[in-house]
Amino acid sequence: MFKSLRDEVDGMMARDPAARSRLEVVLCYPGFQVLVAYRLANWLWRSGLRLPARFISHLGRMLTGIEIHPGAKIGRNLFIDHGMGVVIGETSEMGDNVTLYHGVTLGGVSPSEDSDSQREQKRHPTLGNGVIVGSGAQVLGPVRVGENARIGANAVVAKDVGAGQTMVGIPAKPVQVHGASASEEKFVAYGTPTGELPDPVARAIDGLLQEVHGLRARVNELESQAEAQQQRVSGVEDQDEQASEQPDRITGKC
C-alpha cells in the first residue's frame, strides 16, 4: 500500500509543475489525501463493511471536497488536480494514470425509481488508461472512454469515446487537433490543447456561411444575366419599332 501511495505521489509531481516536494504533496494536495481515504474505504467495502466504508469516504469528502464512492474501482496513479467538487460514482471504473480536474462528475443517469433493481447494475462511466478529464466536464452514464482520450473543460459526454479522441462541447463531439495523432500519449493539461482547436459548432456555422455566400454570388450572377437578357430584348424591340416607323415616313414624303 505504501509503495502504491509513493508511486501516486511521484505521478502527481510528474503531472503538476507546482509540486516541489513529496512532503508538499502529502500535506497540501487534497487529491492525494482523498486517495488515502479511498484506499481504506475501498478495502472495507470489498470486505463487506459497507457502513464504515461509507463513513470514511464521507470524512474524506468533508476534508477535501472530493467525493469518491468506496465501491468505485480506481487503478494506479490517479491524479485529481485541485479537486474541489469532483464526484466519482459507485460503479465508476478507471485505469492507470488517469487525471481529473476540479468540478468533474463521473455520474449515472438512471432514474431513482426502483433503486433496488439498479443497485447492482453498471450506472457510471469507465475510463481507460491515461484519460484526462478537464475541469467542469461531466461524463454521464455507463459509457466507455478509450485510452489516452481527452475530455475538454465543461464538456458533457453521454456516449462512448474512442481511444485517443479529444472531445469538446455540449454535447461533446470529437475534434481533430492539428499536429496530433490518435496514438499520442503526451500529457495535455485540462484535457484541452492550447493550440488551434476547431469548434465543431463554429465549423458548422462557417460551412453554412460559406454556402450562403456561394448562393448569394450565384443569385447575383443570375440577376446580371437576366438584366443583360432584358436589355437585349429591349434593344430588339426598339429596332423593330424604328423599322416599322421608317415606311410610314417614306410614304408621307411620297
What pTM was estimated for this model as a whole? 0.68
Q: Do 68 and 161 share a domain, yes or no?
A: yes
| 98 and 204 fall within a common domain | no
Q: What distance in Å separates the CA atoms of residue 44 and residue 28, rounded to the nearest whole number?
A: 26
Q: How many domains does the chain have?
A: 2
3-state SS track over 108-123: CCCCCCCHHHHCCCCC
Tell me which of 243 and 156 has the higher pLDDT: 156
Q: Domain range spanning residue 163? A: 2-196
- CA nearest 191: which of 141, 143, 138, 142? 138
Domain co-membership, 72 together with 95: yes
Q: Are residues 7 and 128 in the same domain?
A: yes
Assign 15 a pLDDT band (cuts: 50, 70, 90).
confident
CA atoms within 13 A on the CB side of 187: 12
Strand ranges inside the chain, DSSP E = 67-68, 73-74, 79-81, 87-88, 93-94, 99-101, 105-107, 126-127, 132-133, 138-140, 144-145, 150-151, 156-157, 166-168, 173-175
Residues 125-180 have pLDDT tens digits of 999 998 999 899 999 989 999 999 999 888 899 999 988 888 888 888 888 765 54
Report the phi/psi class of residue 48: left, alpha or beta, with left for phi > 0 and alpha for psi in -120 to 50.
Answer: left
Angle between helices 30-46 and 50-64 (to 10 degrees): 170
Whether residues 180 and 210 fall in one domain? no
Select the more confidently predicted residue: 5 or 154: 154
- Residues 104 and 124: their CA atoms lie apart, in Å, by 13
Calculate Rg over the CA atoms of the chain.
33
Tell me how far CA of residue 15 lies from CA of 6, 51, 131, in angstroms.
Answer: 14, 34, 13
DSSP secondary structure code for residue 225 in this structure? H
- CATH of residue 184: 2.160.10.10
